[in-house]
C-alpha cells in the first residue's frame, strides 16, 4: 500500500548497516530491516527501572504543574492529567545522561545506524490512568523532519505495559516508504493509515521496543488507574540535519543534549 509522502521525502531508499553486528544477531537486524521494529525483552532489570523512575518522577511532576497553567492543562500534545512529555532529561540529570550512553544503546546504534551516532532526543512519556484518547498513528520523523530520515527510537518500558494501559502499536513494513504526510489533529500529528496489520507490543518493565523513526506507531488509551511510564531515547547519525524549510537546515548537534555516543565505531562513556 503506497501512502501519500511528506513533501520533503524525495528519493528515499531504506538501508541498514551490513555488519558485523556487536549486540544483535543478523536475524534481528533482518527483522528490523523488514518490519521496521524489534522487541528486546528484559534488557534492564525491573529494580533498575524503579531507580530510573525515581529520577524522572520529580521532573515529570514539575511538567504536570507547569501544564496546569495552560487552558484545560493542555499544551500542544501534552495534557496535564492524561499524557505528559518530559523532554531533554539528559540536560537535567547526570545519571540519565550516563544512562543514555549505556552500552545497550551504543551497541544498538552501531548495529542499526553506523559508526558515528549522537543522541538526538530524549523524553519520558507518562500516560495517566483513565486516559481515554489514543496517541495517534505517526512516524517520529513526521514531527520534525530530519535528514537522513531514518534514525532510531528506543521505547523503553519503565512499567509493564499492554493494551489496558497504552502500550505501543506498530504497523510493519511501511517504514520503507520514508516519511509520510501527516495531518494535524487535536491529539497530535496523524497518518491516515489502514491499521488492520497493526501489532500491539506488550512490554515488561525494562523491556524495549526498538523501531525506526519511519515506523508508524501509536499508543492506546490507559483504562487502568496506574500511570504507564516510558522513557524514549532517540539516536541519529552524526551530521543529521533538521530541515526547517526548503533551503534552511540546522545541524542536530547541540552539545548539551545531542552528544556523540558512538564515534569512529567506538562507544563513548
Ligand X SMILES: O=C(O)CCC(=O)C(=O)O
Interaction site with ligand X (CB under 6 A): 125, 127, 135, 140, 166, 217, 219, 230, 232
Q: Shortest distance, CB of residue 83 to ligand X, whole angstroms?
A: 6
The closest residue (CB) to ligand X is: 219
How far is residue 192 CA from its own chain's centroid? 20
Q: Shortest distance, CB of residue 30 to ligand X, whole angstroms?
A: 24
Q: Shortest distance, CB of residue 133 to ligand X, whole angstroms?
A: 10
**Phi, psi of 215, deg, nearest 5:** -85, 120
Q: Shortest distance, CB of residue 64 to ligand X, whole angstroms?
A: 15
Closest CA to 132 of 86, 89, 83, 85: 83
DSSP states of 170-223: E-TTGGGG-SBP-EEETTEEE----GGG-EE--B-TT-EEEEETTS-EEE--B-
Q: Shortest distance, CB of residue 269 to ligand X, whole angstroms?
A: 26
Q: Which is nearer to ligand X, 140 or 147 (CB)?
A: 140
Q: Which is nearer to ligand X, 112 or 209 (CB)?
A: 209
Q: Which is nearer to ligand X, 22 or 195 (CB)?
A: 195
* Omega within 30 of 0 (cis) for the link into 95: no
Which three cell numbers, joined as nine digits, stand for 130?
A: 483513565
Q: Which residue has the cell 500500500?
A: 1
Amino acid at each position: 500500500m503506497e501512502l501519500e509522502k511528506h513533501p520533503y521525502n524525495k528519493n528515499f531508499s531504506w538501508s541498514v548497516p551490513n555488519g558485523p553486528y556487536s549486540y544483535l544477531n543478523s536475524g534481528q537486524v533482518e527483522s528490523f530491516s523488514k518490519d521496521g521494529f524489534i522487541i528486546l525483552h528484559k534488557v534492564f532489570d525491573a529494580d533498575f527501572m524503579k531507580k530510573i523512575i525515581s529520577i524522572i518522577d520529580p521532573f515529570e511532576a514539575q511538567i504536570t504543574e507547569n501544564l496546569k497553567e495552560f487552558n484545560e492543562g493542555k499544551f500542544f500534545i501534552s495534557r496535564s492529567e492524561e499524557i505528559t512529555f518530559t523532554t531533554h532529561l539528559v540536560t537535567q540529570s547526570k545519571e540519565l545522561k550516563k544512562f543514555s550512553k549505556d552500552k545497550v544503546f551504543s551497541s544498538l546504534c552501531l548495529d542499526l545506524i553506523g559508526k558515528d551516532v549522537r543522541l538526538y532526543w530524549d523524553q519520558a512519556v507518562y500516560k495517566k490512568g483513565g486516559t481515554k484518547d489514543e496517541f495517534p498513528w505517526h512516524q517520529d520523523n513526521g514531527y520534525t523532519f530530519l535528514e537522513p530520515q531514518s534514525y532510531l527510537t528506543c521505547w523503553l518500558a519503565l512499567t509493564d505495559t499492554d493494551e489496558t494501559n497504552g502500550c505501543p502499536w506498530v504497523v510493519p513494513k511501511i517504514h520503507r516508504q520514508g516519511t509520510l504526510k501527516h495531518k494535524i489533529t487535536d491529539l497530535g500529528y496523524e497518518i491516515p493509515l489502514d491499521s488492520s496489520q497493526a501489532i500491539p507490543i506488550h512490554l515488561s518493565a525494562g523491556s524495549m521496543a526498538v523501531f525506526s523513526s519511519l515506523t508508524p506507531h501509536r499508543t492506546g488509551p490507559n483504562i487502568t488507574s496506574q500511570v504507564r511510564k516510558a522513557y524514549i531515547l532517540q539516536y541519529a547519525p552524526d551530521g543529521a540535519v533538521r530541515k526547517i524549510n526548503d533551503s534552511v537546515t540546522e545541524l542536530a548537534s547541540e552539545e548539551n543534549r545531542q552528544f556523540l555516543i558512538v564515534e569512529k565505531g567506538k562507544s563513548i562513556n
